């Protein structure tokens, strides 16, 4: 981004190249495309866009949006700047370490691109209500959290009112991992949503609390036990710092001892650090490609100047460079945008604890700390503590003792704003 010496916020030629796209319809423009001043005015004076995440992807997205002509941008991020961010999150400098990412990113963009207003929020997306999200025309997610994506996706689907077309907020989602990345366009209730494609994600790294507490089988179970259960038991309210070598060392020592007790091999220092920090490799160039794809889709949706993505773009750069675009279809049994109960066949011997473990590990479900109930009884509740204690004996019971064939089980989790209906059969 070159420096600007002019005092004008819209210096001559600032949008010259963008205006070449907006002045004249092309062979793939939408019939609703209003070439000329009308579309320029909407883009630069009316469109309000929300960016979720101000990290590796978010920094690229914010810069691209500002330079493309969006002038009313909001950004949410709950993190502060760490020195390890500086190699790829180019809106930050060493002096910014420890400061909120959203605030610093907003200030940087407004300083370098005069006339653009970026409103930051340092906090969680869950802090905001439906009225807050209703004000935006578009939402772009540049997150490294599956849970946050699922929450945002479900929130936007729940906002849709068939009687109010303005309630449909397109969501553009981008994600990267090393040399791989994806960008997608989600039209809530119209196209497949984020929840529909959970089975495409890597195997989840979350483990059911009952497994890590009672029957660990993997080195990761022992590490989770040390961090989730033993740390608060030994250290009380003292917060764990995953960047502190002493803290990681304590976890490694405790996890290794538990692994030895259960004859489990594979607990190492690096694995301990990887599990507790949930490290996802990031490369600046991949972030730039995926952010560019997301912002191009935002521009196309906002202006109708070209057909937007339908609906999934995948980039694979691990062996050469390969990209693929396809339409991911909706799932009828999607708990967010589907409506039908998910059919699940269990053995008559399956226990409640085993069912919970399945729900956590199954690719198309992936619910951390699920609570189970039927219309007539509470099977197992993760919280509050008194209800968890009273329902804990059910963990050892067979599901077939509690749920008849064809019966439905409602699955909920505090981290997700929706419930999942399971229709149980036995074989």
Tokens of 34: 């209003």
Tokens of 46: 């009316």
Please give the distance of CA 14 from its chain centroid, rounded to a whole number.
34
DSSP assigned state of 351:
B
- What is the rounded distance in angstroms from the CA atom of residue 99 to the CA atom of residue 115? 24
Contact 342/336 with Cβ under 8 angstroms?
Answer: no
Catalytic residue (choose from 141, 196, 210, 334): 210
- Residues constituting the chain: 427
- What is the rounded distance in angstroms from the CA atom of residue 222 to the CA atom of residue 256? 7
396: left (phi over 0), alpha (psi -120 to 50) or beta: alpha
141 included as an active-site residue: no
Nearest to 338 by CA among 201, 199, 198, 193: 193
- What is the rounded distance in angstroms from the CA atom of residue 212 to the CA atom of residue 147? 20
Helix residue spans in 262-314 (DSSP H): 269-277, 284-303
Residues noted as catalytic: 210
């Amino acid at each position: 981004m070159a420096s600007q010496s002019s005092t004008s916020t819209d210096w001559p030629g600032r949008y010259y190249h963008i205006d070449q796209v907006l002045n004249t319809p092309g062979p793939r423009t939408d019939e609703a495309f209003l070439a000329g001043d009308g579309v320029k005015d909407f883009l630069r004076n009316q469109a309000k866009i929300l960016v979720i995440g101000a990290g590796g992807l978010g920094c690229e997205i914010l810069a691209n949006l500002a330079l493309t002509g969006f002038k009313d941008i909001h950004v949410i991020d709950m993190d502060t700047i760490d020195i390890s961010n500086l190699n790829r999150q180019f809106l930050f400098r060493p002096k910014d370490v420890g400061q909120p990412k959203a605030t610093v990113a907003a200030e940087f963009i407004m300083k370098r691109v005069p006339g653009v207003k970026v409103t930051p929020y340092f906090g969680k997306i869950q802090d905001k209500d439906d009225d807050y999200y209703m004000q935006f025309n578009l939402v772009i997610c540049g997150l490294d959290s599956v849970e946050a994506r699922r929450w945002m996706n479900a929130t936007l689907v729940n906002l849709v009112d068939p009687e109010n077309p303005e309630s449909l907020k397109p969501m553009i989602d981008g994600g990267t991992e090393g040399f791989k990345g994806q960008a997608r366009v989600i039209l809530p209730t119209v196209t497949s949503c984020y929840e529909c494609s959970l089975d495409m994600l890597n195997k989840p790294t979350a483990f059911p609390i009952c497994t890590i507490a009672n029957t660990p089988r993997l080195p990761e179970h022992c590490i989770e036990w040390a961090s989730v259960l033993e740390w608060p038991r030994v250290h009380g309210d003292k917060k764990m710092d995953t960047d502190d070598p002493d803290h990681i060392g304590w976890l490694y020592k405790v996890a290794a001892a538990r692994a030895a007790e259960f004859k489990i091999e594979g607990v190492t220092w690096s694995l301990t650090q990887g599990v507790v920090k949930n490290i996802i490799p990031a490369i600046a160039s991949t972030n730039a490609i995926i952010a560019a794809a997301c912002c191009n889709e935002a521009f196309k949706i906002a202006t109708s100047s070209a057909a937007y993505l339908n609906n999934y773009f995948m980039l694979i750069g691990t062996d050469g460079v390969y990209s693929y675009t396809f339409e991911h279809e909706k799932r009828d049994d999607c708990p967010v945008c589907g409506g039908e109960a998910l059919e699940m066949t269990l053995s008559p011997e399956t226990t409640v604890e085993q069912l919970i473990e399945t729900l956590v590990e199954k690719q198309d479900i992936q619910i951390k700390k699920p609570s189970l109930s039927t219309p007539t009884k509470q099977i197992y509740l993760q919280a509050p503590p008194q209800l968890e204690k009273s329902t804990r004996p059910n963990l050892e019971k067979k599901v077939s003792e509690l749920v008849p064939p064809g019966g439905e089980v409602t699955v909920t989790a505090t981290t997700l704003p929706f419930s999942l209906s399971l229709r149980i059969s036995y074989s």
